[in-house]
Amino acid sequence: MTKALDGFDPQQTYDDASADYEDACRDFWQYMSIRTVDRLSLGPGGRVLDVPCGTGATLLSLAERVGSSGHVVGMDYAERMVEIAEGKVRAAGVHNIELKIGDMTAITADDPYDAIQCSLGLFFVDDMPGLVRSFLRLVRPAGGEVATTVFGEHFFEPMRSVFVSAVAELTPGCVVVEPWRRTENVAVLREIFREAGVEDVVVETEDDELPLDSPDDWWRIVMGSGLRRTVTTIGEDAAAHVRRRCEAYVEGHGITALLNRTHYAVAVRR
């Protein structure tokens, strides 16, 4: 799954980040998955696949939407992420959720799903139109839905740009690999769906200001997100310098919020 990602390994990155991901996701990007669920036409008795499900940000809300007669499958490539999701499901005592460890490019199903939710995962595969095409084959004909959510052009700005600049200055030659930038443009996202055979995908874009309560909050985002891969690559000493540079920027420029843009795309199988 990494040929187009310049060595970025999603499985290893998010296995390593799992605990930090759970913490940061709750405060900084879980809302994206929740809004994706709200865009689905799920009802009691529905079958839905959440992939990659991460640490299970929306599994319980999906289970509530489909009710006891419905079925929710959560799948992720990162084993430790799934373990955290399993803990949530057990604690909630919910019995209509099934969790799996697996590759979303190789999914099979005996029965079609009513919907597939893919939040913050599309950009991690080599063949993005192929992934959308496979999802469409997995949902029921005449009405099955595929919803994908991706970051837009503004990814936790201005601090993402500060982070990238600090890495470039302090560790020359190190490239910050950002797979999520592959789908940040709406025209590119629409073309992915067009190549998958969908001409009428509905794409909605929303901008959000996310409170940044302290300089430490930015590093929580770094260590809980795909940016962690860069921190691991440059080593502890360089990472410490980058962190100090970022924290100084937050304090010196009075940064109290981050701008985050999200694209929500929903396609219906005709």
Query: Residue 130 maps to which CATH number?
Result: 3.40.50.150
Q: Do you know the residue count of the chain?
A: 270
Q: What is the pLDDT of residue 7?
A: 83
Per residue in 222-243, pLDDT (tens digit) is 999 999 999 999 999 999 999 9
Least confident of 3-17, 90-104, 154-168: 3-17
Q: Is residue 136 part of a domain?
A: yes
Residue 78 has pLDDT above 80, yes or no: yes
Q: Is residue 27 part of a domain?
A: yes
Q: State which residues form the domain around 102.
A: 3-155+180-211+260-268
Domain count across the chain: 1
- 249, containing H or E segment: helix 236-252
Q: What is the pLDDT of residue 4?
A: 66
Q: Alpha-carbon distance 246 to 238, whole Å?
A: 12
pTM of this structure: 0.95
Q: What is the pLDDT of residue 6?
A: 80
Q: Is residue 47 part of a domain?
A: yes
Q: Which of 50, 53, 90 is nearest to 70 (CA)?
A: 50
Least confident of 85-89, 108-112, 190-194: 108-112
Q: What is the pLDDT of residue 1?
A: 44
Q: What is the pLDDT of residue 3?
A: 56
Q: Is residue 139 part of a domain?
A: yes
Q: Is residue 165 part of a domain?
A: no
> How many CB atoms are located within 10 Å of the residue 182 CB?
18
Is residue 206 within 8 Å of residue 261, measured between CB atoms? yes
> How many CB atoms are located within 10 Å of the residue 243 CB?
19
Q: Alpha-carbon distance 174 to 160, whole Å?
A: 15
Q: Which of 141, 164, 144, 151 is nearest to 218 (CA)?
A: 164
Q: Is residue 129 part of a domain?
A: yes
Is residue 260 within 8 Å of residue 31, measured between CB atoms? no
Q: Is residue 125 part of a domain?
A: yes
Is residue 51 within 8 Å of residue 85, measured between CB atoms? no
Q: Is residue 168 part of a domain?
A: no
